[in-house]
Amino acid sequence: MSATTPDHVDAIVIGAGISGLAAASELAQAGCRTIVLEKSRGIGGRMATRRVGAAVCDHGAQFFTVRTRAFGATVADAQAAGAVRPWCDGFSRLADAAAALESAGDGHARWCGTRGMTDLPKRLAAGLPENLVEIRTGVRAAAVGIVAGGVMVTLEAKEGEVPRVLGARGLILSCPVPQSLDLFAAGHALGALDGAAVETLRGIDYDPCFALMLVLDRPSQVPPPGGLQFASGPISWIGDNLQKGISTVPALTLHGSGDFSRERFDADPASVTAELESLAAAWIGGATIVDRSLQRWKFAQPRVIVPAPLVSPSATPPIACCGDAFKGPRVEGAACSGQATGRWMGRLLVDGR
Ligand SMILES: Cc1cc2nc3c(=O)[nH]c(=O)nc-3n(C[C@H](O)[C@H](O)[C@H](O)COP(=O)(O)OP(=O)(O)OC[C@H]3O[C@@H](n4cnc5c(N)ncnc54)[C@H](O)[C@@H]3O)c2cc1C
């Protein structure tokens, strides 16, 4: 089936997580007309907040740090708008589930969204000028192709529908890197890309993560300020969404470690849920679990970080990959990578350098 005539913009950004939105913000500041494509119904990517029964739970990123000036400005704006706040200056740490608690607090602020972690990306999105940036949610990019004068992004179509195509002079891919490589492959673009850059991208992989959200009938045994970090063992984190202040009823978020989650990735969800609940029994205390939800993140956290803020597998047309696998990990690293990539692309599209 042939594709329809493409819409043309200056830039397309694939992914409306923190890095894609930060990139779109920089592109708008350069005056570039930009479309952001997001396959999910909502924005935020791995900064994800979900309602489970009567509770509200962050099930991806739990908190973020602010070490760089560039990200500090974004956070200061979001704080002024009431979207984010400091949570604490550290969490109780355990060497493993059986070890004694080490005291919380190292003097560095851990931040969170006021009503959930998605508040920060939502604030970034709200600040984007409507005349320059359009965010299309529920739209999955299916393939990326290179054509004369630019890029072509084919959108996933429902059965029987003609696939729509968007055209742009430049492209930023902010999804986890294996997904970006799949998009190049689907559009037969890999052969036209810089081989060394593609090799670098192929070297990036991610740990998976099971996130189990539990709604309790009474407060948990997680000590203040509501987070436990485990240095080793099957659980890496237990967060208390009531103490954090985003849920009005007691609710925990448990994260399986990378090894635990990889070994059981295709296991029966009910057995993974039962295992995590049993491992966390001491922190659930005597509470009864009144609701539960298990989420499986395939690409939770990168195992390899490329030292540059972006990798560009094509200079003409300009294409770049960004996100938390570049420059620095986690929320802050992703935001800084997105900012740097949007600035780079804006300069190329506006000044040609
Ligand atoms: C369980 C878990 C716990 C974490 N804990 C922390 C923490 O406590 N602190 C911290 O700082 N970081 C934490 N992180 C990491 C942090 O969430 C990420 O580093 C950061 O959110 C990554 O942002 P990003 O924009 O690079 O990618 P993402 O947030 O993954 O955004 C990419 C977006 O691209 C979209 N997308 C993908 N493919 C397509 C397509 N084909 N078409 C359209 N859209 C597409 C996705 O839906 C997604 O919204 C955690 C992550 C997980 C999963």
- Residue 2 pLDDT: 40
Model pLDDT, residue 103:
63
What is the structure's pLDDT at 176? 98
For atom 35 of ligand 1, the residue with the nearest CA is 15
Which of 270, 277, 263 is CA-nearest to residue 214? 277
Q: Give the residue, by CA position, lying nearest to ligand 1 atom 14.
A: 61
What's residue 95's pLDDT? 67
Q: Write down the pLDDT at residue 297.
A: 98
For ligand 1, atom 34, which residue shows the shortest CA distance?
15
Q: What DSSP character marks residue 102?
A: B
- Which of 137, 20, 126 has the alpha carbon at shortest distance from 83? 126
Q: Whose CA is nearest to atom 26 of ligand 1?
A: 323
Give the position, in ligand 1's atom list, of the atom nearest the Cα of 331. Answer: 11
> Residue 61: CB within 6 Å of ligand 1?
yes
Ligand 1 pocket, 210 CB below 6 A? no
**Per-residue confidence (pLDDT) for residue 241, from 0 to 100:** 98
Ligand 1 centroid to Cα of residue 149, in Å, is 31
Ligand 1 center from residue 94 Cα (angstroms): 26
110 lines ligand 1 (CB under 6 A): no
Paired tokens of 12 = 């397309």
Q: What is the pLDDT of residue 172?
A: 98
Q: Torsion-angle region of residue 217: left (phi > 0), alpha (psi -120 to 50) or beta?
A: alpha
Return contacts of 125-129, CB within 8 angstroms, 24+ apart: 125/16, 125/21, 125/43, 127/25, 127/77, 128/21, 128/24, 128/25, 128/28, 129/28
Query: Ligand 1 pocket, 87 CB below 6 A?
Result: no
The span from the CA of 84 to the CA of 121, in Å, is 10
Q: Is 334 touching ligand 1 by the criterion CB < 6 Å? A: yes
pLDDT given for residue 113 in this prediction? 98
How remote is the CA of residue 300 from the centroid of ligand 1, in Å?
A: 7
What pLDDT is stored for residue 328 in this prediction?
86
The CA 178 to ligand 1 mean position distance, Å, reads 13
For residue 44, the cross-strand partners are: 17
pLDDT in tens, the chain (353 residues): 344 445 789 999 999 999 999 999 999 999 999 999 999 999 999 999 999 999 999 999 999 999 999 999 999 999 999 999 999 999 988 865 555 566 667 778 999 999 999 999 999 999 999 999 999 999 999 999 999 989 999 999 988 888 899 999 999 999 999 999 999 999 999 999 999 999 999 999 999 999 999 999 999 999 999 999 999 999 999 999 999 999 999 999 999 999 999 999 999 999 999 999 999 999 999 999 999 999 999 999 999 999 999 999 999 999 999 999 998 889 999 999 999 999 999 999 998 87
Domains of the chain, first to last: 7-46+122-205+304-351 (3.50.50.60), 49-64+86-114+207-302 (3.90.660.10)
Would you call 100 helix, strand, or coil by DSSP? coil
**In whole angstroms, what is the distance from residue 218 CA to residue 24 CA?**
43
What is the SS3 assignment for 347? helix
Q: What is the distance in A from the centroid of ligand 1 to the CA of 324? A: 8
Cα-to-centroid distance, 258 and ligand 1 (Å): 16
- Ligand 1: distance of its center to the CA of 295 in Å? 14
